[in-house]
Amino acid sequence: MDLLKASFKDIAGAVQGKKVSAREVTKFFFDRAEKLDPKLNSYIQLNDKALDEASSLDARIVKGENVGPLAGVPFGIKDMFCTKGLKTTAGSKILANFVPPYDSTVVERLKKSGVTIIGKLNQDEFAMGSSNETSAFGAVKNPWNTDCVPGGSSGGSAAAQASRLCAGTVGTDTGGSIRQPASFCGIVGVKPTYGRISRYGIVAYASSLDQAGPMVSTVEDAALSLEVMCGHDERDATTSQRQVPRFSQNLKEDLKGLKIGLMKEYMTGSGLHADVQKTVQAAIDTVKARGAEIVEVSVPLTEYAVPMYYLIAASECSSNLARYDGVKYGHRAQFESLGGVDLEDFYKKTRGEGFGKEVKRRIMLGTYCLSSGYYDAYYNKACQVRRLMRNQYDDAFKKCDIILSPVTTSPAFRLGDRISDPLAMYLNDIFTVSTNLAGLPGMSVPFGMSADGLPIGVQLTAHHFEEQKMLNAGFALEQSSSVKAKVPHVY
C-alpha cells in the first residue's frame, strides 16, 4: 500500500484486517513529519505518545475488536482543538504551556473512530489571520512553494495535509480558515453547516461563526471524516439534533438535475486573478458537462460581508479571550518585585506579553464595537444586516442547490507580502466570510493550477444541512481536477 496515496478506507481496511499495523502506518507519517516538517513548520508539536497509542489500537484489533471506521488513520490536529494531556496553544504565547485535562468533542470522536494523533498543527494565533503568519510559533510555508504562505488560519493543517505529513487533518473555519488554506495548498477542506459539529473543547474565537471541519486529500475522505465528526453534542447547546447522513456512501459524480448558481456579486469582480478566473470557468464547464444546470443568483448584501464579519468576529473575540488573564492557566507575567503592582498591572503585563499584535488589534476593535454608545451602530447593526443577508441566501437557494465561486481572489501570495497591511489581509476573506455569517456549509475543492505551479480551489456553498449535495458536486469536480493526487515535493 502506497501510504502517500492511500484513502482512509484503504488504511482503515488494512489496519482492521491486520494487513498492516496501526503502529506501522503511524510511524510512516510520524517519521515523515519529523524529517520534513522543519522545512514547513506545519506542526507546533508532535505527539510523542503517537506510537504507543497506535500499539494499543493494534492490541485491541488483535483481540478482535472493531476499533472504528478510521482505524489507524493518523491525523494532525489544528492546535485550536483541546487534546487531553497534549499541549494546546491556539498558536499563542498566552497558552504556550497549556495542557488541557479534557479532549474536545471532535478529538474524542476521532479517537473513538480509531484515529491516532500525530501532533498538533500550526495556525494563526487564535485563528486570527489568513496567512498563518500571526502564529506565535512562526509562519508555516506553502509546500508547493516555500516562499509562499499556506493560507490561514488553518495553514499548518493545509501544509501538513498537502505534503502528507499525516493522513488527515482537522481545521476550524470562522471566516474561511479551512477553505482558503485548502485552496492555497491543493487539498479538500469542508466547513459544514453551523451546528453540525460540536464546538466543545475548540478554543473559541468567534462563537457564532466558528465551525470545525476536515482538511483532507479527497472528497471521500472528507465525507467519511464528517460522518465521524458531525452530530449533536449535549455539551454544545448550539449543535443540531439532526440525523447525520452517511455522506461517504451517497457520493455520486452525476450532477443531473442539480442547479448550480453563479453569484453575480462574486463573478463580476475585477480584482480576480486570471488563473483563478480560468479555474472557475473550467469548473463551470465541468459541472455543466456532468449534467448540472447553471443559473444566476444574487445575494446583494455580501457586499458588506467583510465589514460585518470583522465587527461581529472582533466583538465576540473580545469577550471570548477575556479568560486569558494569567490567573488560572497559561502565561502569567512575572514581576521583579510586587511593590506597587496592582491587579490591573498584572492583567496588562500578562495579556500584553501573551497576545500578538493581530489578536490585540481585534480585541481592541471588538471592545470598541460593544461599548456603550457604539453597540447599536456597530455590533447590533452588523447583526441586523447579517440576518438580512441570511434571508437573501434563503432566496438564492430557492433558485439553486449549490453556489459555485472562487475561494480567493488569487493563488497563495508570498510570505510577508500582506502581513503589514491588515486591510489587504482582511480582503482575502471576501468570498468566504458570508458563508460563516449565514451559517451555511462550504467547501474548497482543488481544481486548477496557476501558471506558477500553485494549486487553486473552487468553492461550493450549499443551503443549511445540504452537505450531501455539496459533497456530490465536489466529488464530480474532483474527478476532473488537475490537482488530484498530486503531492508537492518537499525535500
Partner 1 sequence: MSTKGYEAVIGLEIHAQLKTNSKMFCSDSTKFDAADNENTSPVSVGMPGTLPVVNKTAIEFSVKTGLALGCEIRRKSVFSRKNYFYPDLPKGYQISQYDEPLCEHGKITFKVDDVEKTVSITRAHMEEDAGKSNHFGEYTLINYNRSGIPLLEIVSGPDMRSAAEAAQYARTVRQVLRYLDVCDGNLEEGSLRCDCNVSVRKVGAEKFGTKVEIKNINSFRFVEKAIDFEIDRQIDAVERGEKILQETRLWDPDKNRTFSMRTKEDAQDYRYFPDPDLLPVILTGEQIEKFRQELPELPLARQQRFMTEHALPLYDAEVLTTERELADYFEETAKISGNSKAASNWIMTELLRELKNAEKSIVDSPIKPAALGKMVALIEKGTISGKMGKTVFQEMWASGQDPEEIVKAKGLVQITDTSAIEKIIDEVIAANPQQTADYRGGRVKLFGFFVGAVMKASKGQANPETVNQLLTKKLQG
The answer to whether residue 45 forms part of the interface with partner 1 (CB under 8 A) is: no
Which of 270, 372, 423, 489 forms a contact with partner 1 (CB under 8 A)? 372
Which of 203, 260, 433, 458 forms a contact with partner 1 (CB under 8 A)? 203
Which of 367, 392, 480, 482 forms a contact with partner 1 (CB under 8 A)? 367
Which of 2, 64, 237, 268 forms a contact with partner 1 (CB under 8 A)? 237
First CA to last CA distance, the chain? 22
The answer to whether residue 375 forms part of the interface with partner 1 (CB under 8 A) is: yes
Handedness of CA 407, 411, 413, 414 (dihedral sign): positive
The answer to whether residue 410 forms part of the interface with partner 1 (CB under 8 A) is: no
Residues 98-127 within binding reach of partner 1 (CB under 8 A)? 98, 100-102, 104
* 390 grid coordinates: 441570511
Query: Catalytic pick from 92, 130, 154, 177?
Result: 177
Q: How far is the CB of 304 from partner 1 (least distance, A)?
A: 19
Residues 74-93 within binding reach of partner 1 (CB under 8 A)? 80-82, 88, 90
Q: How far is the CB of 440 from partner 1 (least distance, A)?
A: 17
Strands 211-216 and 293-297: unpaired
Question: 112 vs 30, 52, 109, 116, 239, CA distance in Å?
Answer: 20, 16, 5, 10, 19
Q: How far is the CB of 91 from partner 1 (least distance, A)?
A: 12
Query: Catalytic pick from 153, 157, 183, 405?
Result: 153
Q: Residue 52 or 345: which CB sits closer to partner 1?
A: 345
Q: Residue 132 or 198: which CB sits closer to partner 1?
A: 198
Query: Catalytic pick from 78, 93, 141, 191?
Result: 78
Residue among 193, 233, 272, 208 at smallest CA distance from 112: 233
For 342, residues 6+ apart whose C-beta sits below 8 A from its C-beta are none
Q: Do residues 253 and 472 touch, judged by C-beta distance below 8 A? A: yes
For 48, residues 6+ apart whose C-beta sits below 8 A from its C-beta are none
Q: Residue 237 or 423: which CB sits closer to partner 1?
A: 237
405 is catalytic: no
d(CA 193, CA 212): 10
d(CA 422, CA 365): 13
The answer to whether residue 154 forms part of the interface with partner 1 (CB under 8 A) is: no
Residues 293-352 within binding reach of partner 1 (CB under 8 A)? 315-316, 318-319, 321-323, 325, 327-329, 338, 343, 347
d(CA 142, CA 39): 10
288 is catalytic: no
Q: Do residues 443 and 188 touch, judged by C-beta distance below 8 A? A: yes
Instruction: Write b or e for each residue in 460-469: b if 16 or more Cβ atoms lie within 10 A of its Cβ, otherwise e.
Output: bbbbbbbbbb
Q: Which residues pair with 482 in a beta bridge?
A: none
The answer to whether residue 449 forms part of the interface with partner 1 (CB under 8 A) is: no
Q: How far, rounded to the nearest angstrom, does the alpha carbon of residue 215 sit from its chain's CA centroid?
A: 7
Which of 137, 144, 200, 355 forms a contact with partner 1 (CB under 8 A)? 200
Q: Indicate which residues carry an active-site annotation.
A: 78, 153, 177
Binding site for partner 1 (CB under 8 A): 80-82, 88, 90, 95, 98, 100-102, 104, 199-204, 206-208, 234-238, 315-316, 318-319, 321-323, 325, 327-329, 338, 343, 347, 367, 370-372, 375, 379
